[in-house]
Amino acid sequence: MPATSAGLLLFRDGAGGLEVFLVHPGGPFWARRDLGAWSLPKGETSAGEDLLCAAQRELQEETGFAVDGPAIALGSVRQKSGKIVHAWAVCADVDPAALRSNVFEVEWPRGSGARRAFPEVDRAAWFDVGEARRRILPAQEPFLDRLIEALRTGA
């Protein structure tokens, strides 16, 4: 059974139109990656856990933000790793400078025996849809299209 994650794609009406909130994963593996590395805030779910509740929990754990408001279902995608990601969009305006991420530990450098703590998310930003397409993990790009379609049709 593939791993399952749930996340929230925050959006707002910015100066130039629709903007989405993306996060950059922390840790040494992602440190030098940028384009195609950003994601919506998301995380793994537990068996039987309500997926929308998991998405809200993960947003708070990864960013420190709690948002309220109607959630637009964006469906799911399968990432290259096989992980299934379920997403919802919520209209909210958060300040990336106020980001507070939880941390994880990993042996680093590999094989050294030393363990280091890294933030799960090392930065966050608002992007217009064109820039978001350049930055988001390719498998998650359909969430942008689904958000645009939902907003266009009033879903």
Q: For all residues of the chain together, what is the average pLDDT?
A: 93
Query: What six digits make up the tokens of 56?
Result: 């809200």
pLDDT at 1 over 80: no
User: Is the pLDDT reported for residue 24 higher than 90?
Assistant: yes
Per-residue burial over 60-95, b if 16 or more Cβ lie within 10 Å, else e, is eebbebebeeebbebeebebeeeeebbbbbbebebe
3-state secondary structure of 81: coil
| pLDDT tens per residue, range 100-126 | 999 888 888 888 888 989 889 999 999
Domain total of the chain: 1
CATH number of residue 69's parent domain:
3.90.79.10
pLDDT of amino acid 112: 86
Greater pLDDT, 155 or 85: 85
Reply yes or no on whether the pLDDT at 88 is more than 80: yes
116 vs 9 pLDDT, higher one: 9
**Mean pLDDT for the stretch of residues 20-36:** 89
Least confident span in 37-41, 88-92, 105-109, 142-146? 105-109
- pLDDT at position 155 is 67
Distance between CA atoms of residues 38 and 114, nearest Å: 27
Range of the structural domain that residue 24 is part of: 4-153
